[in-house]
C-alpha cells in the first residue's frame, strides 16, 4: 500500500524535474557527482531525462519485454552542454512520461522489472527516481535540498519494499548472508509524527521483511526524514553526522552494502 496516489506520483515526476531545472540554471554542469561516481551533473541529467523517455515509451507501447537502455546508460557523449540546452529537454521528458502514465491509468498491464506488471510501478518509481537524482544534482552543486514529507515517506517505503523482494535472492544470492538471529534495524525520522516515520527491517527469518513500527533493534538510525532518506539511498554516509547511529553499526553497513540500488 503506497502513501501517495497514482496521480500524485505522476505529478511529482514533473514537479521534481521542475525543481531540478531550477538547480541547474547558470550552473557548471561539468562538476562531478559524488553520489554517482564517474558521472558529471551533465551526464546525470542526460541519464534521468533518457530514463524518463524510456519509461514513457515502455508505457505507451504496453511492452511485454524490456526496451534497450543504451541511450541512457552510455553517457560518454555528454560533455560540456549548456544548462539552457537541457532545461527544455528535461521538461519535455518529464511531461511525456506523466502524460503517458495518465493516459494509460494505474492498472494497464505491461512489463515491469519487478512483480506487479502494472503502470502504477512506473509512476511511483520515477517519482522517487527523479526526486533522488535531484538530490544528486543538488549535493554536487552545493544548493539546498528538501523534499515534501509525504513524498519522502513514500520514497522510504518504496526503497524498503524493493530491497526486500524475494526475487532479489535469485539475482543476488549473496543477500542471504544478511540473514541471521538478532539482525534487526530500526529507522526513525525525528522531525515527523512517530507513527508515520518509523520502520523496522527484519533479517531474522528466511527472507528480508520490513514493517512500520517502533521496536528495539540491533541497530537504530535516527535523524531528520530527508537526511534519513538520503542515508538509506547511500547519498550520505550514516557516519557523517547527519544521522545518529545507535547499536551495531557494522550490521547497518553490511545491510547497506548488500541491498544498495538506485
Distance CA 179, CA 146 (A): 34
Q: Would you say residue 39 lies in a domain?
A: yes
In this predicted model, what pLDDT tens digit does every residue of 58-67 receive, in sequence order? Answer: 999 999 999 9
- Per DSSP, the three-state class of 64 is coil
pLDDT at 262: 44
Distance CA 152, CA 12 (A): 11
**157: closest CA among 6, 262, 2?**
2
Shared domain check, 216 and 107: no
Query: 22: domain CATH number?
Result: 1.20.120.450
Give the residue-averaged pLDDT of 192-196: 76
State yes or no: pLDDT of 47 exceeds 90: yes
Q: Would you say residue 154 lies in a domain?
A: no
Shared domain check, 226 and 105: no
State yes or no: pLDDT of 5 exceeds 60: yes
Last residue of a domain, one of 113, 145, 177: 145
pLDDT at 2: 82
Shared domain check, 112 and 26: yes
Shared domain check, 131 and 52: yes
Give the residue-averaged pLDDT of 77-97: 95
Query: Which residue range(s) make up the domain with 80?
Result: 6-145
Shared domain check, 205 and 176: yes
> What is the C-alpha end-to-end distance of the chain, expressed in Å?
21
pLDDT at 1: 67
Shared domain check, 109 and 201: no
Structure-block grid coordinates of residue 54? 524510456
Distance CA 136, CA 56 (A): 22
In this predicted model, what pLDDT tens digit does every residue of 247-259 receive, in sequence order? Answer: 999 999 999 998 8
Query: 210: domain CATH number?
Result: 3.30.1050.10
Give the residue-averaged pLDDT of 94-123: 97
Shared domain check, 193 and 127: no
If you write DSSP's letter for every residue of 3-56 in order, what string do you get?
SS-HHHHHHHHHHHHHHHHHHTTT--TTSB-TTSTT-BHHHHHHHHHHHHHHHH
State yes or no: pLDDT of 238 exceeds 50: yes
pLDDT category at 80 given cuts 50, 70, 90 is confident
φ, ψ dihedrals at 103, nearest 5° = -65, -40
Shared domain check, 26 and 110: yes
Shared domain check, 176 and 94: no
Shared domain check, 224 and 172: yes
Residue whose C-alpha cell reads 530514463 in the numeric block: 51
Distance CA 82, CA 63 (A): 34
State yes or no: pLDDT of 104 exceeds 50: yes
Give the residue-averaged pLDDT of 113-119: 93
State yes or no: pLDDT of 261 exceeds 60: no
In this predicted model, what pLDDT tens digit does every residue of 140-176 receive, in sequence order? Answer: 999 999 999 999 999 999 999 999 999 888 888 888 9
Shared domain check, 228 and 118: no
Shared domain check, 188 and 99: no
Structure-block grid coordinates of residue 66? 524490456
Domain count, the chain: 2
Amino acid at each position: 500500500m503506497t502513501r501517495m496516489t497514482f496521480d500524485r506520483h505522476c505529478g511529482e515526476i514533473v514537479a521534481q524535474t521542475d525543481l531540478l531545472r531550477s538547480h541547474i540554471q547558470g550552473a557548471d554542469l561539468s562538476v562531478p557527482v559524488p553520489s554517482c561516481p564517474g558521472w558529471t551533473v551533465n551526464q546525470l541529467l542526460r541519464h534521468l531525462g533518457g530514463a524518463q523517455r524510456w519509461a514513457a515509451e515502455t508505457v505507451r507501447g504496453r511492452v511485454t519485454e524490456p526496451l534497450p537502455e543504451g541511450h541512457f546508460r552510455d553517457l560518454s557523449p555528454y560533455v560540456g552542454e549548456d544548462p539552457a540546452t537541457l532545461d527544455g529537454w528535461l521538461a519535455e521528458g518529464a511531461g511525456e512520461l506523466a502524460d503517458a502514465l495518465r493516459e494509460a491509468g494505474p492498472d494497464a498491464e505491461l512489463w515491469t522489472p519487478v512483480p506487479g506488471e502494472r503502470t502504477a510501478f512506473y509512476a511511483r518509481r520515477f517519482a522517487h527516481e527523479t526526486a533522488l537524482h535531484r538530490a544528486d544534482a543538488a549535493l554536487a552543486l552545493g544548493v539546498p535540498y528538501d523534499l515534501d514529507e509525504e513524498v519522502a515517506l513514500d520514497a522510504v517505503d518504496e526503497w524498503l519494499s524493493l530491497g526486500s523482494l524475494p526475487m532479489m535472492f535469485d539475482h543476488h544470492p549473496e543477500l542471504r548472508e544478511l540473514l541471521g538471529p538478532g539482525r534487526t534495524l530500526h529507522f526513525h525520522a525525528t522531525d515527523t509524527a512517530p507513527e508515520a516515520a518509523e520502520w523496522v527491517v527484519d533479517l531474522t527469518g528466511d527472507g528480508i521483511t520490513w514493517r512500520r513500527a517502533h521496536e528495539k533493534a540491533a541497530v537504530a538510525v535516527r535523524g531528520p526524514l530527508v537526511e534519513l532518506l538520503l542515508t538509506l539511498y547511500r547519498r550520505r554516509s550514516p557516519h557523517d553526522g547527519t544521522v545518529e547511529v545507535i547499536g551495531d553499526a557494522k550490521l547497518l553497513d553490511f545491510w547497506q552494502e548488500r541491498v544498495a540500488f538506485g
